[in-house]
Amino acid sequence: MEKIYMISIVLALIIGCEKGDSENKNACNSDNPIEDISWLKELKNSLSDCVCEISLIQGTYDNRTVFFTALTDPVCNGIDTPTLFDCKGNVVRIFTMNDYQEFYTDVTRDKVLYRCKISE
């Protein structure tokens, strides 16, 4: 009976670890993260009726993949103070009005995933 109990525990741990690994891999290496990652899909859906164009971008910060929204409308004048999220949706860093210049030097914009365009 103890062997069955121990085998059950080991199997539960293995299955739990494999699931976590596949979620991490899927989030960071997905061909279509905007559809594959639920929190990213929710963030996209929250961008509607934009007065200025705002883009959802996949980038790199501190050698890791991050996601963030940014003002990408050349006609609108504003300052980006984005929040960077990792592949799981955890906050990596929040840029403020005091340190927003670091955003432009520390974060690369690798791929635009979605653009919320101005409604006409």
List, for residues 65-90, the tens digit of each pLDDT value.
999 999 999 888 888 889 999 998 99
Q: What is the mean pLDDT of the chain?
A: 78
> What is the 8-class DSSP label of residue 118?
B
For residue 109, is pLDDT > 70?
A: yes
Q: Do 55 and 111 contact (CB within 8 A), yes or no?
A: no
How far from 61 is each of 20, 41, 57, 83, 85, CA to CA, in Å? 22, 21, 12, 12, 10
For residue 24, is pLDDT > 80? no
User: How many CB atoms within 10 Å of residue 22?
Assistant: 10
